[in-house]
Amino acid sequence: MRADAQRNRDRIVEVARELFRARGFDAVSMDEVAKGAGVGPGTLYRHFPTKESLYDAIIEAWSEKVNGAVDRALALEAPARVRLLAWLSDYAAMLTEHKGAAARITGALGDPGSPFAAKCQTYLGANQRLIEGMDSALRPGANAMQISRLVGGVAAVADNSELPADSVTAMLAVIADGLLASVNA
């Protein structure tokens, strides 16, 4: 890649990350990103053929964080409930870090054609590792996809309504206890 192209790409990602974080995916227009980065719309679309692909580039680094969070949760010397809740909280926090991300990523969980497909695989894999690491303390039937969707739902609602952290924690606690419940009916 030519030096000027690399420079422009970097500036676009930087500007877009800040704009998306502050105001959310939908509320920021591509023209705005282009103007903020000092390039024309054509240049922006040369680097990122769709708005979603730009978004994907922005959350690139997340995947790495995910596995770290699972490792931390599994390494805790604590009851299953605490370890589970630690992971769910980290997971939800990562999903709500960027406005609009939770709904978008959770919606892409079952769609191999999505631009986020690779990230979804990382997430699902992380949940799978957690399940295996917890040695069937979870209810029968609990699986990575289900957990991802449950937490994704909570995160999407939290993001959408800008809920305070303790509301989110309380909802995640309900889910954690539900996942740990021995089904009795």
Partner DNA sequence: TGCCAAACGGAGAGTGTCTCCGTATAGTTC
Partner DNA sequence: GAACTATACGGAGACACTCTCCGTTTGGCA
**Shorter beta-carbon distance to DNA: residue 10 or 132:** 10
Binding flag, residue 139, a copy of itself (CB under 8 A): yes
Binding-site partner at residue 23 among DNA, a copy of itself, none, CB < 5 to 8 Å by type: none
List the x/- string, 38-67, binding to DNA by CB under 7 A. Answer: xxxxxx-xxx-xxx----------------
Closest CA to 55 of 39, 42, 68, 44: 44
Instruction: Tell me the closest approach of the beta carbon of residue 53 to DNA, in angstroms.
Output: 8
Cβ 155 to a copy of itself, closest distance in Å?
8
Among 24-32, 89-97, 98-106, 153-161, which window interacts with DNA (CB under 7 A)? 24-32
Q: DSSP states of 85-126 as a string? A: HHHHHHHHHHHTSSTTHHHHHHHTTT-TTSTTHHHHHHHHHH
**Which alpha helices (H) appear in the chain, and where do they start and end?**
3-23, 30-37, 41-47, 51-58, 62-75, 80-95, 101-107, 117-133, 144-161, 165-180
Which residues would be at the binding site for DNA (CB under 7 A)?
Answer: 1-5, 7-8, 28-31, 38-43, 45-47, 49-51
